[in-house]
Amino acid sequence: MVNAGRLTARTASGMRTPMAEKSASSRGPVAIVGGGLGGLHAARLLAAARVPFLLLEARSRLGGRILSEDGFDLGPAWFWPDMQPSIAALVGELGLAAFPQYAQGDVLAEQAPTLTSTLAPARYPGFGQMASSFRIAGGIAALVAALAKDLPEDRLRLGVTVTGAALRDEGGRLTLGGSGDAGTMVEARAVLFALPPRLIEKTIAFAPALSPDLRGMWRATPTWMAPHAKFLAVYAKPFWRGMGLCGTAQSSVGPMVEIHDASAVPEREGGAALFGFVGVPASARARVGETVLRQHCLAQFARLFGAQAETPLATRFKDWAADPFTATADDGEATGHPEAVRRPWFDAPWSARAVMAGSETAPVHPGYLEGALLAAEAAVARLDEGGALS
């Protein structure tokens, strides 16, 4: 179990200070747009400080890009306690079990065949290369569930999109979309956007309009996970471990370019799994189709791990580039990991009433789970310092 620290707000300087308790105000709640890790963490901080909030999530579930099915992660899967103390502390504080990524055994490398021969996968000592990576029992979605269970249900709205944001004297006014909510207005003292900047720029109309320079910066910020697809196969037992393999493989053949052991509870029947990142570009995935990709991914598992890999108990496939609540047309090709941006995410007059709290906007670790926590903490601290929470 990873040990936890006390829940606090992180100031822009990086120092941790307890949040002052705020009294209720007639100016409306803080509107949180997005129910991923950043939005949920911001909601938890506001709830702890007794600041009214309303969280709006377009999906029918919480978690955003965190997606676990039967304990198997189809979104982010790891955190690194040695380098990411905030997520490690939160996992421990919430009483969640964390375990290291399985790394005992050899690694496979699959090279592209030549014109005259087919190359068998090469085998190399693994050296415990993933030992510092940790996963959460039950999948990362267990973290989402633990954060959500202490939040008031009437403050969490699912299946609600935000299509417009207008600046008002005392805060902001959001225009909602979605079934049954189209045209509905929500008044808020401040708005905390816990979404990728590209998605906000594409889907939300601002009044007054944002500057072209600012919108260009948002569009240039890669959305982590958005270009990627993951394929996962579930097995009765982790048979590759008995072969002296750790489940990690690299491939220049494909369709998966990177593969890992994804077992949730390997001692449980059906608790073992392998997963891989599909290296086929998003446009080609759309043309080929999911059914064909699943077949080729299973064939690749069989090439690497033997005939047992051809008959899984179940398979799962998630193409994040096809997820309208994650990706835009700008995310069709992978452009690298998001980098920390040093300039403000909002210009005047919006900067007084709106803040960013998506992982891509974090001061450090952008795009990671750690980044989502740090971005949320920094956003709540900025609203506090600007008087929007009083």
Q: Where are the domains of the chain?
A: 9-67+142-224+330-385, 101-136+227-322
Out of 3.30.470.160, 3.40.50.2300, 3.40.30.10, 3.50.50.60, select the CATH number for domain 9-67+142-224+330-385: 3.50.50.60
**Architecture of the 101-136+227-322 domain:** Alpha-Beta Complex (3.90)
Q: What is the pTM of this model?
A: 0.90
Q: Which of the four pLDDT bands, split at 50, 70 and 90, describes residue 109? A: very high
Instruction: State the pLDDT at residue 116.
Output: 53
CA–CA distance, 243 with 252 (Å, rounded to integer) = 23
- Looking at the predicted structure, is the pLDDT value of residue 130 above 80? no
Which distant-in-sequence residues (6+ apart) come within 8 Å of 58 by Cβ? 159, 160, 161, 162, 178, 325
Query: What Å distances lie between residue 351 and 64, 218, 273, 347, 389, CA to CA?
Result: 25, 15, 46, 5, 15
Q: Are 250 and 109 a contacting pair, CB within 8 Å?
A: yes
Pairing of strands 98-100, 134-136: antiparallel
Q: Are 195 and 356 a contacting pair, CB within 8 Å?
A: no
Instruction: State the pLDDT at residue 127.
Output: 67
Pairing of strands 185-188, 229-235: unpaired
- Looking at the predicted structure, is the pLDDT value of residue 118 above 70? no
Collapse the DSSP code of 55 into the 3-class scheme (helix H, G, I; strand E, B; otherwise coil) and give the result.
strand
47 half-sphere exposure, CB direction, 13 A CA radius: 20
Which pLDDT tens digit goes with each residue over 258-313? Answer: 999 999 888 888 999 999 999 999 999 999 999 999 999 999 999 999 999 999 99
Share above pLDDT 70 across residues of the chain, in percent, rounded to a whole number: 91
Collapse the DSSP code of 350 into the 3-class scheme (helix H, G, I; strand E, B; otherwise coil) and give the result.
helix
Share above pLDDT 90 across residues of the chain, in percent, rounded to a whole number: 78
- Looking at the predicted structure, is the pLDDT value of residue 195 above 90? yes
- Looking at the predicted structure, is the pLDDT value of residue 53 above 70? yes
**Which pair of structure tokens corresponds to residue 96?**
């969640």
The reply to whether 9-67+142-224+330-385 and 101-136+227-322 are identical in fold is no
**Which pair of structure tokens corresponds to residue 299?**
């064939």
Burial class (CB in 10 A: 0-12, 13-18, 19+), 170: middle
